[in-house]
C-alpha cells in the first residue's frame, strides 16, 4: 500500500492539513491529527453537505444511471446531484453500514464463528466459502467483507456482533436514523435484493462519511489485495487471497488526471444493477465522496464515475 498524505475531516466541514509524512510519527496516512487509539471515532459532526433538489448544471453524462452525487467535504458543497433522495437498492454498498456497525460495536481482535447462517444459496451471490464452525477475527472479516464483498462473511459479522442477524439489522437501522439517513431501511447485512431494503445516494454519503472516520475502514478500502488464513471447526488452516472489486485499482479504468481514488465500495445485483461509492482527493489533497446507483452496466458505471470525478478538477 502506498503512503498517502491525507486528511481528517469531521463530516463535510473538516479542515484540511498540509504536513510531511513521518514514518515514526503517530499520524497515519489516513489520519491528519494524532490520536491515542484506533477505536471508536469521535462524535458525529453536524457540518454536512445539504441538498434538497437536483444540481445538474454541470457537463456530466449520467444518462445511464438512476441517481448520483458528488460531495465536496471541505467546503460542505454538493457539486452534482441527480435523484439523490430517491430510494433505490444499494446492493453491496450495504456493507459500508455493516462495517460501520461492526467497528462501533466490536473489537478487531474479536474471534467470530460461522454458523449455518452463512449458507447463502442465492444464485450469483459473492461468497468466500465459509462453513459452519469456521473462525476468523473481526479484522480479517472486515477485509474480506469490504474488498471481496463476501456475503457469507457479512452474515457471520452480523450474528457475532449483533447476537443474531435480526439484531444486527436493527442496529444498522438505528445507526442510519442516528446519522439522519431517513430514507434508508435495511433488512440484511449484505445487500442481496429485498423490496424493503433500500437507501439513497444522499444517505449513502452520510453513512460513508461516518465510516471513513475509522482508520481501519479507510485503510481497508485503499488496499488492492489481501492475504490471510482463517480456521475451520477442527483448527485446520484455510488460506484466502482477496483482490479489491474496485476496478480503478485493477487498472481496467483510470481516474481523471490529478484525481486520486483512495478507495470505496462496489455493488452489483440484477435489481440494483451497478453501484459504486468512492472517496477521492484532488491534487491538493482535498476529499470528495462520489456515489452512483443503478448504472446500466459496469462499463457505464465507471465511465460515468470518471465523468463525475472530472468535476473535481474544475
- State the number of CA atoms in the 13 A half-sphere of 177 facing the CB: 8
User: Each residue of 81-124: pLDDT tens digit?
Assistant: 999 999 999 999 999 999 999 999 999 999 999 999 999 988 88
Active site members? 92, 95, 149
Over range 169-185, report the average pLDDT. 98
Domain ranges of the chain: 11-36+46-313
Q: Domain 11-36+46-313 adopts which CATH fold?
A: Beta-lactamase (3.40.710)
User: Each residue of 60-92: pLDDT tens digit?
Assistant: 999 999 999 999 999 999 999 999 999 999 999
Q: What pLDDT does residue 46 have?
A: 59
Residues 6+ apart with CB under 8 A from 288: 70, 71, 72, 73, 79, 279, 280, 281, 282, 309, 312
Over range 147-170, report the average pLDDT. 98
pTM for the model stands at: 0.85
Amino acid at each position: 500500500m502506498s503512503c498517502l498524505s491525507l486528511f481528517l475531516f469531521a463530516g463535510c466541514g473538516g479542515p484540511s492539513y498540509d504536513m510531511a509524512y513521518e514514518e515514526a510519527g503517530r499520524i497515519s496516512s489516513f489520519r491528519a491529527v494524532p490520536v491515542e487509539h484506533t477505536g471508536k471515532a469521535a462524535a458525529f459532526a453536524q457540518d454536512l453537505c445539504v441538498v434538497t433538489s437536483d444540481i445538474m448544471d454541470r457537463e456530466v453524462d449520467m444518462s445511464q444511471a438512476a441517481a448520483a452525487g458528488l460531495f465536496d467535504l471541505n467546503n460542505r458543497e454538493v457539486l452534482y446531484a441527480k435523484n439523490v433522495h430517491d430510494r433505490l437498492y444499494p446492493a453491496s454498498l450495504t456493507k459500508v453500514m455493516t462495517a460501520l456497525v461492526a467497528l462501533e460495536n466490536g473489537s478487531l481482535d474479536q474471534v467470530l464463528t460461522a454458523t449455518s447462517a452463512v449458507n447463502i444459496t442465492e444464485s450469483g451471490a459473492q461468497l468466500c466459502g465459509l462453513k459452519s464452525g469456521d473462525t476468523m477475527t473481526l479484522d480479517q472479516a472486515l477485509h474480506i467483507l469490504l474488498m471481496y464483498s463476501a456475503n457469507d462473511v457479512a452474515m457471520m459479522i452480523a450474528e457475532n456482533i449483533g447476537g443474531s442477524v435480526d439484531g444486527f439489522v436493527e442496529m444498522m437501522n438505528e445507526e442510519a436514523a442516528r446519522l439522519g439517513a431517513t430514507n434508508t431501511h435495511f433488512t440484511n447485512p449484505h445487500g442481496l435484493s429485498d423490496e424493503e431494503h433500500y437507501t439513497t445516494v444522499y444517505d449513502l454519503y452520510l453513512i460513508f462519511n461516518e465510516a471513513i472516520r475509522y482508520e481501519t475502514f479507510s485503510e481497508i478500502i485503499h488496499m488492492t489485495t489481501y492475504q490471510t488464513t482463517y480456521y475451520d471447526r477442527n483448527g485446520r488452516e484455510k488460506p484466502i487471497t482477496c483482490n479489491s472489486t474496485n476496478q480503478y485499482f485493477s487498472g481496467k479504468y483510470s481516474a481523471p488526471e490529478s484525481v486520486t481514488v483512495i478507495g470505496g465500495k462496489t455493488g452489483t445485483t440484477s435489481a440494483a444493477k451497478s453501484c459504486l461509492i468512492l472517496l477521492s482527493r484532488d491534487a491538493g489533497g482535498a476529499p470528495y465522496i462520489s456515489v452512483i446507483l443503478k448504472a446500466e452496466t459496469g462499463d457505464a458505471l465507471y465511465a460515468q464515475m470518471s465523468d463525475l470525478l472530472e468535476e473535481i478538477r474544475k
